[in-house]
Amino acid sequence: MKVNLDDIIVSKLIRTMVDCMVDSTDTIEIPLPNVSQKVLLKVLEFTKHYKENPMKQLMKPLPSDDLSQVVDVWYVEFISGLEEDMLYEVISASNYMDIEPIQELGCARIASLIRGKEPNEIRKILGINAE
């Protein structure tokens, strides 16, 4: 998959790999074996927006489970619109690619989901079997 470097340079992994390239060609191939194309497209959606409209630093701890109190509406809609599996995959990809803003936003989403819940409810939300 070809992407514009400017759209993904927020990734510390990508930035480091590009900085280490000796050859200055127009096309650089960077393998991302731990990131599926579907997930990479979501990450790119985030990074393209982030490049033009940086997300402000998240308050910690979160003041409430309403993310709109701490980030702009676009970010709330982006992260809330991800299905559970995709949410975890995007967080995992952002961890692998070292994209801190997505990690923080994804973890804030999970924190907002489990805030104030009983342990059994948290296990259910996180898909943890209590045996």
Q: What pLDDT does 24 receive?
A: 57
Q: Which amino acid is at 71?
A: V
Quote the CA–CA distance of 21 and 41 in Å, as a whole number: 24
Condensed to tens digits (0 to 9), the pLDDT of residues 67-120 reads 988 899 999 999 999 998 999 999 999 999 999 999 999 999 999 989 888 989
Q: What pLDDT does 102 receive?
A: 96
Stretch 122-131: mean pLDDT? 80
Q: What pLDDT does 109 receive?
A: 94
Q: What pLDDT does 130 receive?
A: 64
Six-digit token string for 126:
């996180």
Task: Record the pTM.
Answer: 0.85
Contact 130, 65 (CB under 8 A): no
Six-digit token string for 92:
């995992």
| Backbone dihedral angles phi then psi of residue 60, each to the nearest 5 degrees | -130, 130
- CB-based contacts of 47, cutoff 8 Å, min separation 6: 7, 8, 10, 11, 99, 102
Q: Which domains does the chain have, with CATH numbers?
A: 5-126 (3.30.710.10)
